[in-house]
Structure 1
Amino acid sequence: MLVNTKEILSAAQNGKYGIAAFNVFNLETVQAAITVAKKENHPVIIALGERYFDTVDVEGFAALVKTLAGKSSVPVSLHLDHAYEKESIIRAIRCGFTSVMYDGSKYELAENIRLTKEITEIAHMAGVSVEAEIGSVARGAFSDEEEGDGTLTDPKSAKEFVEETDVDFLAASIGTVHGMYTGKPNIDLDLLEEIRQLVGIPLVLHGGSGTPDGIIKQAVARGICKVNVNTEVSLAATSYLNQAFEQEQKAAHLSAIMAGMQEAMESVMTKFVRLLKN
């Protein structure tokens, strides 16, 4: 069933567990995420980044996800990830996304508040929930996200931001990176605890890929309800494709290769879902 992301995250917050938000790029990634959700009997968030609008037909993609979600007894939501343009957000709302992320983190606090508040008012009129970001997640290896400066979230600014914008969940920068870490992760769980004390809405962790399992579990215990995963899923798919090529499966039918790629992604997704549900 397709549900509002706020519904999924509110339940996660009350139950003190986490939900994986998997970035998807094609049919196989969507099928992998929903298949794992059904097998593990745990909700999932299907996330499409604004940066993929050039290669993914948004309206067709939304129709696909809504159809597959409608066949699932497990809650599934459809989320627009890292959107910077109001036009992209309106387009996603019109074709049925159940939540959107407006990323104004590059702006000073006052401007971020002003722009995010405008988006929240638009989305809420349509019954769509909103995620926003304070601070800036740095870019690691193998990521295709925009470069961030790694500025950590200030708890008092986060409190002001949430009160002024009325967002539904907040991405907090505590030291994770988009992509894979190039050194030892330096994640500030004490900072997360401070943010949790001042902010009552569900918190989001961007940069789940490569983050140690123990850190993710501790983050969930301190208020993280949504963990974004992109790069590990992508690497599992490309690794499988590379191996298929090296094993001289050049003559294999495309359908067989795509099925194998989906299974490789399901393995990574299963790891995250099990980690977050326990």
Structure 2
Amino acid sequence: MIVNTKEILVEARKKKYAVAAFNVFNLETAQAAVAVAEKEKQPVILALGERYFPTVDVEGFSALAHAIAAKAKVPIALHLDHAYEKQSIIRAIRCGFSSVMYDGSRFELEENIRHTKEIAEIAHMAGVSIEAEIGSLARGSYSDEEEGDGTLTDPDEAVRFIEETGVDFLAAAIGTVHGMYQGEPNIQIPLLKEINEKVNIPLVLHGGSGTPNEIITESIQFGICKINVNTEVSMAAVNYLHHTEFKEQHLSSITADIQAEMEKVMTKFVRLFANRSN
């Protein structure tokens, strides 16, 4: 069942676990995420990035995601990830996305607030929750995200940003990267702790791929309720294609095997984020 993303994250914050937001862009990625959610009895978020709009029919994909999620016995959300254009957000809202992310991190704070507030008003009128970001993530290896400058989130700016925009959850930049790390990760847990002490909404960690397990577990203790994962899932699928010799296999069997490989990686993350020791 498709539910409002805010519902999922408020519950996660209350019980101190995080929900995996898997980037999806075709049938197999969506099926894999929902299959893992069912198996692990945990909610997941299906996240389609604006950058995939040129190759993915958004309305068709939304219908597909709703049909798959309707069979699930656990909550599933459909999220628009990293959208920069208002029209992309309106398009996603109109075809049934349960949350949207407006990424105004390229702007100075004042302009980011102004744009984000407008988008938040549009989303809330439609009953859709909204994520936004201040600070930005640098891009590591194997990522298809845009390059960010790596600016960390200022806790006081986060408070002001939330108060003036009315966003429902906030992506906090604490040193993670989009993609895989080049060198040792330098992730600022004390900064996250300070942000969490000052704000009262769920926090989001972008850049789950390659982040050490102990950092993930600690970040959940300090307010992270949604963790985005894309690159490690993609790498598992591509690695399978690189190292498998195909002779007379039918495409249908190859895509089924790719889905199985992605499910293995997704299961690892869902179990880690569930934080079941608490």
Q: TM-score, normalised by structure 2?
A: 0.98
- Corresponding position of 2:196: 196
- Corresponding position of 1:132: 132
CA distance in 1, matches of 2:25, 2:78: 13
Query: Post-superposition shift, 1:272?
Result: 0.3
CA distance in 2, matches of 1:136, 1:126: 28
Runs of 4+ in 1 over 6 A off after TM superposition: none
- Corresponding position of 2:117: 117
CA distance in 2, matches of 1:251, 1:151: 50
Query: Post-superposition shift, 1:241?
Result: 1.1
Query: Post-superposition shift, 1:198?
Result: 0.8
Query: Post-superposition shift, 1:250?
Result: 3.2
Superposition RMSD on alpha carbons, in Å? Answer: 0.5
Secondary structure, aligned partner of 2:239: helix
2:46 is the counterpart of 1:49: no
Query: Post-superposition shift, 1:228?
Result: 0.1
1:177-208 deviations in whole A, cap 9, x for unaligned? 00000100000000000000111100000000
Q: Which amino acid aligns with 2:204?
A: V
- Corresponding position of 1:259: 256
Unaligned runs of 5+ in 2: none
1:225-278 deviations in whole A, cap 9, x for unaligned? 00000100100111111122xx2x132100110010000000000000000112
2:249 is the counterpart of 1:275: no
- Corresponding position of 1:4: 4
- Corresponding position of 2:175: 175
Secondary structure, aligned partner of 2:209: coil
1:53-94 deviations in whole A, cap 9, x for unaligned? 000000000000001111001000000000000000000000
- Corresponding position of 2:78: 78
- Corresponding position of 2:228: 228
2:157 is the counterpart of 1:160: no
CA distance in 1, matches of 2:7, 2:69: 15
CA distance in 2, matches of 1:129, 1:25: 21
Secondary structure, aligned partner of 2:175: coil
State the percentage of identical aligned residues: 70
Aligned residues: 275
Secondary structure, aligned partner of 1:237: helix
Q: Which amino acid aligns with 1:144?
A: D
Secondary structure, aligned partner of 1:21: strand
CA distance in 2, matches of 1:36, 1:43: 9
Q: TM-score, normalised by structure 1?
A: 0.98
CA distance in 2, matches of 1:55, 1:232: 21
Unaligned runs of 5+ in 1: none
2:34 is the counterpart of 1:37: no
Secondary structure, aligned partner of 1:6: helix
CA distance in 1, matches of 2:52, 2:224: 26
1:10-62 deviations in whole A, cap 9, x for unaligned? 00001110000000121000000000000000000000000000000000000
- Corresponding position of 2:149: 149
Q: Which amino acid aligns with 2:266?
A: M
